[in-house]
Amino acid sequence: MKVINLLARAVFGAVFIFSGFVKAVDPWGTAYKIEEYLSAFSMSGLVEAMSWLPITASVVLCCLEFMTGVLMFFGFYRKTGRLVSAVFMAFFTILTFVDALTNRVSDCGCFGDAVTLTNWQTFWKNIVLDVILVVIFLCERKADFAKSKVNAHLLTSIFSVFILSFAIYNSVYEPVIDFRPWKIGNRMIAVGDDATPPESFATYKNNKSGKEREFNTEDLMAEYQQNPNFASEWTFVDSRVVNTNTIAADGFSLQAIGFDEDETIDILSDTSSDLYMITAFDLTKTSDKGMKVIIPFANKAIGSGARVIFVTASSSENCATFIEKYHLTNITFYNADDKAIKTILRSNPGVIKITNGKVADKWSWRNLPDKDEYFAK
């Protein structure tokens, strides 16, 4: 029974430690997920009344989850660990079951962006953890992994300070580990020799059998050459073009303010200069201090020959007011989905550098490099 208990605690604790850690890597990601849940359950008014609530709840949640895992894994404060674990599992098992049935939120975010699970996968994962927790309750013993209470106090304190400091740092700056599509080094679009040209397809209907067949350009030319009667035997139905040179981030689309044309591929695949995208998902909530740091950097980038654009989800009216306030007539503003912008950078505002279709660097406004030193390279 003791071995079973140790294994059960190790598995249960490891899952909670991992879950809490990946949430602490990206507290704003969890905060946005909390906002989704509050909105799904008609409680978005809480966020409007207390804007600090989602990020505070996120930091508290990841720290509690991580520390619960530590207590269970190492066997510290066993009664407290079991009680907190039971409360966690009761709440989240019910929540994920309701979510699986209603699909109000598509992804629970229990493992952040590190591991994505469907709602039903999340629910059954919780059922497995529930079973493991029951096993722990049934075969728990008073023996403790720590040799003394001093060791338990010391190690618990160390882990607590670590996870709280880690979560706060990642909430102030960008995540130190990036699990998102726009992480540094990722190629967002193929350019140059890596790019593949669009491929055209045409569908024809056989006049005799009535069956339809799709030809690519090469096959169609071959049919015309091999069958002189092709034009009389087949009737054109439809055509399509497949552009395999697409962006590697779902839901991201750039449209100049006031226009409907999607310019995403043209902008990201431009190899004539480096691209700096200033992102701010909501201009009404954008840090004034942050803008005063970013604007000189942006002007320096433009002076060096780089292209600078501003990407936001705000309305045309808000953009016009913002441009006038910060004198940004030299920067083109583009609209994109707010969720997509939050995926690029958690900071509001922030800057991301794209070189030849690849993410070269990204910064929160708080750790933007010195403009003179950076562009002197």
pLDDT at 19 (0 to 100): 94
pLDDT above 70 covers a percentage of the chain that reads 92
Q: Report d(CA 345, CA 340) in Å as an integer.
A: 9
Residue 73 in this model has a pLDDT that exceeds 70: yes
Query: Are 259 and 332 spatial neighbours (Cβ–Cβ below 8 Å)?
Result: no
Which residues have CB under 8 Å from 145's CB, separation 6+?
74, 75, 76
Q: Report d(CA 55, CA 46) in Å as an integer.
A: 13
Beta strand 307-312 with 275-280: parallel, antiparallel or unpaired?
A: parallel
Query: Are 351 and 362 spatial neighbours (Cβ–Cβ below 8 Å)?
Result: yes
* Cα-based torsion angle of the residue sequence 34, 40, 46, 48 in order, rounded to the nearest 10 degrees: 90
Query: Are 240 and 319 spatial neighbours (Cβ–Cβ below 8 Å)?
Result: no
Residue 25 in this model has a pLDDT that exceeds 60: yes
- The residue-averaged pLDDT of 82-98 equals 93
pLDDT at 243 (0 to 100): 55
Structure tokens given for 360: 């070269």
pLDDT at 171 (0 to 100): 92
What sign results for the dihedral spanned by CA atoms 333, 334, 338, 340?
Answer: negative
134-148, 214-228, 282-296: which range is least confident on average? 134-148
pLDDT at 145 (0 to 100): 47
Q: Report d(CA 89, CA 27) in Å as an integer.
A: 21
- Greater confidence (199 vs 213) lies with 213
Residue 236's pLDDT band (cuts 50, 70, 90): confident
Residue 49's pLDDT band (cuts 50, 70, 90): confident
pLDDT at 141 (0 to 100): 63
Query: Are 113 and 180 spatial neighbours (Cβ–Cβ below 8 Å)?
Result: yes
Residue 339's pLDDT band (cuts 50, 70, 90): confident
Residue 297's pLDDT band (cuts 50, 70, 90): very high
Residue found under tokens 């704003």: 28
108-135 pLDDT, tens digit per residue, is: 888 888 888 888 999 999 999 999 999 9
Residue 79 CA to its chain's centroid (Å): 36
In the CATH hierarchy, which top-level class contains the domain 255-374?
alpha beta
Q: Report d(CA 59, CA 210) in Å as an integer.
A: 63
- Greater confidence (143 vs 27) lies with 27
What sign results for the dihedral spanned by CA atoms 179, 180, 185, 186?
Answer: positive
Among 102-106, 125-129, 186-190, 236-240, the range of highest mean pLDDT:
125-129
- Greater confidence (55 vs 151) lies with 55
Average pLDDT score over the chain: 86
pLDDT at 12 (0 to 100): 95
Give yes or no for a cis peptide into 296 (omega within 30° of 0): no
Which residues does residue 280 pair with via DSSP β-bridges, in sequence order?
A: 312
134-188 pLDDT, tens digit per residue, is: 998 887 765 444 445 558 888 999 999 999 999 999 999 889 998 888 888 888 8
Query: Are 82 and 140 spatial neighbours (Cβ–Cβ below 8 Å)?
Result: yes
pLDDT at 191 (0 to 100): 59
- The residue-averaged pLDDT of 23-37 equals 90
What is the total residue count of the chain? 377
SS3 254: coil
**What DSSP state is assigned to residue 377?**
-
- The residue-averaged pLDDT of 260-289 equals 88
Comparing CA positions, the residue from 358, 49, 369 lying closest to residue 182 is 358
Residue 363 CA to its chain's centroid (Å): 16
List the domain boundaries for the chain: 2-172, 199-242, 255-374
Structure tokens given for 108: 């629970």
Q: Report d(CA 178, CA 169) in Å as an integer.
A: 14
SS3 249: coil
- The residue-averaged pLDDT of 62-81 equals 92
pLDDT at 325 (0 to 100): 93
Residue 83's pLDDT band (cuts 50, 70, 90): very high
Residue 62 in this model has a pLDDT that exceeds 90: yes
Q: From residue 96, how far is each of 117, 126, 152 by CA, in Å?
A: 11, 8, 33
pLDDT above 90 covers a percentage of the chain that reads 41
Residue 190's pLDDT band (cuts 50, 70, 90): low
Q: Indicate the burial class of 54 (C-beta count within 10 angstroms; 0-12, 13-18, 19 or more).
A: buried
Nearest-5° angle of CA 93, CA 95, CA 97?
Answer: 65
Q: At 108, phi and psi to the nearest 5?
A: -70, -25
